[in-house]
Structure 1
Amino acid sequence: MTLMNRRSFKYGIPFLLAIVGGSFGLKEFAQLRYTFSKKSTVKEDIKRSGMEVKDQKESSIEKQYEKLKDMDLDNWEQVRGPRPWEEKASA
C-alpha cells in the first residue's frame, strides 16, 4: 500500500489540519471582535444607566465588622420582590 492510499493519511491528516487551523482562524476572528469593540469603563456605564455612585470612603474590615456586629442577623423575613409584569400592572 502506498502512503496516499492509507486511511490515516487520507482522512486523519486533513481532519487534524482542519481542527488546528480552525482554532487559529477562530482566534483571529475573536481578536477582531475585541479590537474594534466600543470600549467604555464601568464608571461610564453606571453614569449612562442613571445610577449614582456614592463616594466610597476607605473602610477597613474592622469598620465593616463593627457595623455587622450590632445587627440582628438571626431574625429576618424573606420578602419577594415584584416581577416585571407585576410592577407594570400596579403602576
Structure 2
Amino acid sequence: MAQFSQKIKAFLNQRSVKYGLPFLVLVVGGSFGLKEFAQLRYQFSKVSKVRPEEFEKYGIEMKKPGEVTIETEFEKMKKLDIDNWEQVRGPRPWEEKNEN
C-alpha cells in the first residue's frame, strides 16, 4: 500500500500533471460555461422589439427614420440663442420643493 501511495504522489508531482491537468480542466470547463452564456444571449435576443403601433397606443408619436438627420438637428441648433442664458441652481434633496 505504501508503494502504491508513493507512485501516486510521484505521478501527481510530475510537471505535466501538476500544471497541464488544471489547464485542461479550465479550458474544457470554460467552453461549457461559454456555451451557457451564449445560449442565454440568443434566448433573450428573440424578445420582440417595441413597435410604433404600441407607442401610438400610449400617445407617443414616433418620427420616420429619414425625418431625423444630422442636418435637420444642426438647423435646430442654429436657431437656438446660446449667447443669452441664465444659470439656475437646481434644488437639492434636503431643500423644500417650493423654494426660489
TM bucket, shorter chain: 0.5 to 0.7
Q: Going by fraction, where is helix more abundant, 1 or 2?
A: 1
**What is the count of residue pairs matched by the alignment?**
81
Structure possessing the higher radius of gyration over alpha carbons: 2
Equivalent residue, structure 2, for 1:36: 43
Q: What SS does structure 2 have at the residue aligned with 1:16?
A: helix
Identity of aligned residues (%): 19
1:27 deviates by 1.2
| Greater CA drift, 54-63 or 73-82 | 73-82
| Greater CA drift, 56-65 or 23-32 | 56-65
The CA distance in 2 between the partners of 1:41 and 1:19, in whole Å, is 37
Q: Is 2:14 aligned against 1:4?
A: no
For the aligned residue pairs, the C-alpha RMSD in angstroms reads: 3.8
Equivalent residue, structure 2, for 1:77: 87
- The TM-score, its normalising length taken from structure 1, stands at 0.56
Q: What SS does structure 2 have at the residue aligned with 1:36?
A: helix
Question: What does the per-residue CA deviation read over 1:36-85, in whole Å, with 9 as the maximum and x for residues that have no partner?
Answer: 336121448x74xx5724223524333222211121234253564897xx
The CA distance in 2 between the partners of 1:60 and 1:34, in whole Å, is 32
Unaligned runs of 5+ in 2: 1-9
Equivalent residue, structure 1, for 2:23: 16
